[in-house]
Structure formats: C-alpha cells, structure tokens
Amino acid sequence: MRCRKAQRKLEAMLGGELSRREHERVDKHLARCAECAAALRRLRRMRTLLAARRTPPVPDGFQARLLSRARERTEQRSGLDKTLRRFGRLRWAAAAAGIALALAVGVLVGRDMMRPAEPPLTVDTDPALLYGADYLTEAPAGSLAGAYVDLVSTRQGE
C-alpha cells in the first residue's frame, strides 16, 4: 500500500470503520513506514485533545434564528427556481422558433435550387432579352424606343 492511500484510511481506522482485511493492510504499511506511523500518532493526539474540550454552550435563541434564516433562504430559492423555470421554458420556445425559421429559410432557398436551369445566353439570343430590354420590343414604330431596338437587333455586316 502506498503512503497516500494509507493516510487517507487512518481516520477510518481509528473510528473502527475499516474491514478487518483493510485494517491489516494499513497496519502492515504502518509497521514499515515511519512517516505514516507519525501521522497516525498526530491524529490520535488530535482526537484526544478534541475529546477533552468542552462543547461550547449554544447561545439563547440560536435555534429559532437558524430556523428562521433557513425558511427565508428556502422562500428565496423557491422564487428563484420559479424564475429559472420560466426562463427555461422561454429558452425552449426560442429554440423551437429558431428551428422553424431555419426550416422556412431552407424551404425557400431549396425551392429556387430545384427550378430547372435556364438555357445559357448565346450570341444568337435576342438582344432585348440579353440586355433585359424586352419591355422595349412593344415600342410603337417610329419612336425612340423602336429606333433603339432596331439599332441593337441589327447585326453588323447585315
């Protein structure tokens, strides 16, 4: 047995709380270890000194004051416990709302991702569509908008 373990068991040994087997193991260690034997002597001396001391008298009204303070603390704690429980429910509600919001955002984003891709724009694409000017295609003939559409829709060399 090591010193640290033996010294932790000395108090239990003096109090008669060790099994016979454990008591014998500690006794064997004490027979070989002067440091632990000295610790046992100090512990016995301390117990003797404490046993010889008188218990100080309890002041008048001590018990009533002690019980009163215990009741106050219990009442304070029960109020605090109610508040903490209320916040606990609030925390769960906030977490549920956050999850619902995340799911809603996921659905909205996912919906756009599931749309079929538009065909890529090429050189042959109508310029009004290419430049986002498709609203000009309905311009009356001879108007400035009509002239613009005619200008951008003619290809060079044609």
Task: Report whether pLDDT(36) > 80.
Answer: yes
pLDDT tens per residue, range 40-92: 999 999 988 888 888 888 889 998 999 999 888 877 776 666 776 777 777 77
Lowest-confidence segment of 39-48, 131-140, 141-150 by average pLDDT: 131-140
C-alpha span between 74 and 95 (Å, rounded): 31
Mean pLDDT across the chain, nearest whole number? Answer: 80
Q: Of 23, 47, 15, which Cα lies nearest the Cα of 6?
A: 23
Q: pLDDT band at residue 157, thresholds of 50, 70 and 90?
A: very low
Neighbouring residues of 31: CB distance < 8 A, sequence distance ≥ 6? 37
Q: pLDDT band at residue 133, thresholds of 50, 70 and 90?
A: low
Chain centre to alpha carbon of residue 66: 37
Burial class for 71, CB neighbours closer than 10 Å (0-12, 13-18, 19+): exposed
pLDDT tens per residue, range 113-126: 766 666 666 666 66
Predicted confidence at residue 121, as pLDDT, reads 61
pLDDT tens per residue, range 82-93: 776 777 777 778
Name the range with the highest mean pLDDT among 65-69, 93-97, 147-151: 65-69
Predicted confidence at residue 59, as pLDDT, reads 87
pLDDT top residue among 158 and 17: 17
pLDDT top residue among 137 and 108: 108
CB 14 within 8 A of CB 47: yes
Neighbouring residues of 14: CB distance < 8 A, sequence distance ≥ 6? 40, 43, 44, 47
> Residue 85 to residues 74, 75, 77, 91, 153: CA-CA distances in angstroms?
16, 15, 12, 10, 71
C-alpha span between 52 and 54 (Å, rounded): 7
Instruction: Say how many residues make up the chain.
Output: 158
Tell me the one-letter amino acid at 9.
Answer: K
